[in-house]
Amino acid sequence: MAPNYVMIVALITFICFSLSFGDDAMLPTSHNNLIDKPKYCNKSCGNVNIPFPFGMTPDCALRNQFLVTCNYSFHPPQPFLGNSSIEITSISLSGQLKVLHFISRDCYRDGISTNRTKPYIVLPSLLTVDNTANSFIAVGCDTYAIVQGYYTKFGTEIEYLRYITGCMSMCYSIDEADDDTCSGVGCCKTSIPKGTSNVNITLSSYNNYNDTNMTNDPSCSYAFVVDQANFNFSKSYLSSLQNTKKLPLVLDWAVGEDKCEIAKRNSTAYACKSNNSYCHDDSNGYRCSCMQGYDGNPYLSCQDIDECIDRKPDYRCAKDAICQNTEGSYTCICPPDFSGNGTVCNRDNPQRITQNIYFVIGATAGVAFAIIIVFGWSYTAFQRRKMSKMKKKFFQENGGLVLQQRLTREEGSSHNNTIKIFTAEELEKATNGFDKDRVVGHGGFGTVYKGYLKDNCIVAIKNLR
Ligand SMILES: *[C@@H]1O[C@H](CO)[C@@H](O)[C@H](O)[C@H]1NC(C)=O
Ligand SMILES: *[C@@H]1O[C@H](CO)[C@@H](O)[C@H](O)[C@H]1NC(C)=O
Ligand SMILES: *[C@@H]1O[C@H](CO)[C@@H](O)[C@H](O)[C@H]1NC(C)=O
Ligand SMILES: *[C@@H]1O[C@H](CO)[C@@H](O)[C@H](O)[C@H]1NC(C)=O
Ligand SMILES: *[C@@H]1O[C@H](CO)[C@@H](O)[C@H](O)[C@H]1NC(C)=O
Ligand SMILES: *[C@@H]1O[C@H](CO)[C@@H](O)[C@H](O)[C@H]1NC(C)=O
Ligand SMILES: *[C@@H]1O[C@H](CO)[C@@H](O)[C@H](O)[C@H]1NC(C)=O
Ligand SMILES: *[C@@H]1O[C@H](CO)[C@@H](O)[C@H](O)[C@H]1NC(C)=O
Ligand SMILES: *[C@@H]1O[C@H](CO)[C@@H](O)[C@H](O)[C@H]1NC(C)=O
Ligand SMILES: *[C@@H]1O[C@H](CO)[C@@H](O)[C@H](O)[C@H]1NC(C)=O
Ligand SMILES: *[C@@H]1O[C@H](CO)[C@@H](O)[C@H](O)[C@H]1NC(C)=O
């Protein structure tokens, strides 16, 4: 029994050990701790994070193109791209820069253009206007808008090419316009080329808003390149645009103009500095990303993700499995009593637990039984000893001792066989267990029985009361 108990205790200890081991594996790691370079660089301007390769001083930014000017005269402070009026709202290491830029406006009073704004976007190399997220949009009822500039054509050689495009919108009333869609009535839109780095908008009117048949109050036209996800056209938009100065725009950035293959050749200039990062080609150059299982800034250092804590939707450990983080990955281990590859864990033997319970019950019953047996045995032995003590006492009280002494003294003499001391068992046998049929009479001190000894001698045995 004892070794089995040891086994159970050992099993419990092992489970406890495994669990505490699992807890240890879940200790938070410092994977969110980005190493920024150099340490004294300001990491944010107002509410906007400025991650490397962007920076606010020349030694904090990887290149001049990634210089950000933080204007502390705003509350909260506002970051601008370089020396431009392009206001940054967020910088993403996956290659996007969300900015706000002025809209072009052209208003008329009595056929005379007033308050014309002509903002101009010039992006440094490595930055382009995202052509899928943004569209060129013009709003008005007597409006034509032209957008022109340069775009970068990437191929075997990088070329800067000119583009001119635009749209027009004529309507008798802005009320005719469809709500929620820029459908050509009161609003027109067109795409801009991929790789656009330069935007120059020309906004004008055919009739200088002097056509009495065209009611357009206020008599204004607007044009802008805008992030479509953040722009909904509606009739009321025309009046609200009057108070809008800036609209959102999405820019793309690359860390270098070359393709990865070429960029890798110059290890000093190659930007994917982290050992756990990789390079990928983008439409306007190359960028870096952390490898799978890593997180952080690929231009500085990618840190191992503790997948056991940051459980992504593709987390593959089974519900019962113990997750252990490893460098760049993690493993799933089925707990004791389970088997499987960690993704799937099945109980080894579904009856094993119940078997263990039965085993414990059985073992307990066995021990209890053994205890009862031992107690019973010792009680019987005690009783027997008490009986034999009593017998000895009676033997002495009835002169047995004297008789025995005499017998010992006369040993060796001819009287040797004349007196014999019988044991209680011998007498019992001789009387067939003090059978009633063997009774030959009842005396004052007891009953007399007829007995047969082993040698068929017939004797009378008196059993004292
Ligand atoms: C860093 O930010 C602090 C305020 O948070 C500002 O006073 C300081 O000039 C900034 N330094 C740089 C280099 O921008
Ligand atoms: C900050 O913004 C204010 C107001 O727009 C402007 O006058 C000032 O020149 C800006 N400062 C810098 C350093 O750009
Ligand atoms: C901003 O303007 C200053 C002075 O005109 C110039 O020295 C600096 O290089 C400019 N910075 C950028 C990022 O263009
Ligand atoms: C506007 O139209 C009126 C008549 O319709 C005309 O007299 C006036 O000269 C026009 N103004 C301009 C600036 O074209
Ligand atoms: C032009 O701007 C001035 C001052 O900024 C303003 O008073 C006027 O109403 C504006 N005109 C139009 C047609 O928006
Ligand atoms: C914008 O385009 C117009 C028309 O082609 C041109 O006259 C103007 O100089 C351009 N503006 C800039 C800043 O290049
Ligand atoms: C305004 O519309 C009327 C009728 O639709 C037309 O006869 C007239 O020529 C139009 N005026 C202008 C300036 O287009
Ligand atoms: C545009 O419309 C969509 C759905 O109608 C809405 O979710 C979104 O917030 C709107 N965007 C803006 C800038 O109003
Ligand atoms: C590598 O890049 C550095 C920094 O941009 C540059 O100074 C150096 O000339 C480049 N080396 C080669 C072999 O192109
Ligand atoms: C990156 O790997 C190289 C060689 O494999 C090694 O010398 C260097 O220390 C590693 N850097 C880091 C930050 O682990
Ligand atoms: C684990 O086993 C299950 C079922 O046997 C299988 O579907 C799954 O692909 C396996 N996963 C791995 C990582 O081997």
Residue 216 binned pLDDT confidence (cut-offs 50, 70, 90): low
Where on the phi/psi map is residue 433: left (φ > 0), alpha (ψ -120 to 50), or beta? left
43 within some domain? no
71 within some domain? no
Residue 437 sits in a domain whose CATH number is 3.30.200.20
Residue 15 binned pLDDT confidence (cut-offs 50, 70, 90): very low
Q: What is the pLDDT of the chain when averaged over all its residues?
A: 79
Token pair listed for 33: 């701790």
The last residue of one of the domains, among 280, 304, 328, is 304
Numbered residues of the known binding site for ATP = 462
Ligand 8 centre distance from Cα of residue 233 (Å): 10
pLDDT at 77 over 90: yes
pLDDT given at position 48? 93
pLDDT given at position 395? 59
458 within some domain? yes
Atom of ligand 4 nearest to the CA of 212: 5
Count: domains in the chain = 5
Per-residue pLDDT averaged across 354-358, rounded? 63
Atom of ligand 7 nearest to the CA of 207: 13
Give 425 or 300, the one with higher predicted confidence. Answer: 300
449 with 434: CB under 8 angstroms?
A: yes
127 within some domain? yes
Q: Ligand 4 within 6 A of 399 CB?
A: no
pTM: 0.67
Range with lowest mean pLDDT among 72-81, 145-154, 428-437: 428-437
pLDDT given at position 350? 57
Is the same domain home to 17 and 132?
yes
Is the same domain home to 397 and 448?
no
pLDDT given at position 354? 60
Look up residue 420 and give its amino acid: K
Ligand 4 centre distance from Cα of residue 94 (Å): 54
Q: Ligand 11 within 6 A of 341 CB?
A: yes
Give the position of tokens 């001792």. Answer: 401
| Nearby residues of 134 by Cβ (< 8 Å), 6 or more positions away | 192, 225, 226, 227, 228, 249, 250
Range among 14-28, 201-215, 298-312 with highest mean pLDDT value: 298-312
329 within some domain? yes
Q: CA-to-CA distance for 129 and 199, rounded, in angstroms?
A: 9
pLDDT given at position 31? 33
Is the same domain home to 101 and 210?
yes
Token pair listed for 362: 């059985």
Give 12 or 441, the one with higher predicted confidence. Answer: 441
- Enumerate residues lining ligand 1, CB below 6 A: 42, 56-57, 70
Residue 323 sits in a domain whose CATH number is 2.10.25.10
Q: Ligand 11 within 6 A of 339 CB?
A: no
Residue 389 binned pLDDT confidence (cut-offs 50, 70, 90): confident
pLDDT given at position 427? 66
Q: Ligand 2 within 6 A of 73 CB?
A: yes
Range among 14-23, 52-61, 344-353, 425-434 with highest mean pLDDT value: 52-61
Is the same domain home to 278 and 403?
no
pLDDT given at position 19? 33
74 within some domain? no
DSSP per position, 22-65: HHHHTSPPSTT----SSTTS--EETTEE--TT-BSSTTTSSSGG
70 within some domain? no
Is the same domain home to 248 and 124?
yes
pLDDT given at position 185? 84
The last residue of one of the domains, among 210, 235, 253, is 253
Is the same domain home to 23 and 92?
yes
Ligand 2 centre distance from Cα of residue 97 (Å): 21
Beta strands in 154-216 (DSSP E): 159-170, 187-190, 198-204
Ligand 2 centre distance from Cα of residue 128 (Å): 25
Ligand 6 centre distance from Cα of residue 166 (Å): 14
Atom of ligand 7 nearest to the CA of 211: 13
pLDDT at 430 over 80: no
45 within some domain? no
77 with 69: CB under 8 angstroms?
A: no
pLDDT given at position 147? 94
Is the same domain home to 355 and 336?
no
Q: pLDDT per residue over 102-131, tens digit each?
A: 999 888 877 777 778 888 899 998 999 999
Is the same domain home to 206 and 242?
yes
Per-residue pLDDT averaged across 134-149, rounded? 91
pLDDT at 30 over 80: no
Is the same domain home to 320 and 364?
no
Q: Tell which one of 71, 80, 88, 245 to mutate to probe ligand 2, the residue whose CB is within 8 A of the most ligand atoms.
A: 71
Per-residue pLDDT averaged across 346-350, rounded? 74
Is the same domain home to 222 and 277?
no
Is the same domain home to 23 and 169?
yes
Q: Ligand 7 within 6 A of 211 CB?
A: yes
Q: CA-to-CA distance for 412 and 21, rounded, in angstroms?
A: 86
Q: Ligand 8 within 6 A of 230 CB?
A: yes
Range of the domain at 320: 312-348
Is the same domain home to 320 and 212?
no
Q: pLDDT per residue over 316-333, tens digit each?
A: 888 888 888 888 888 888
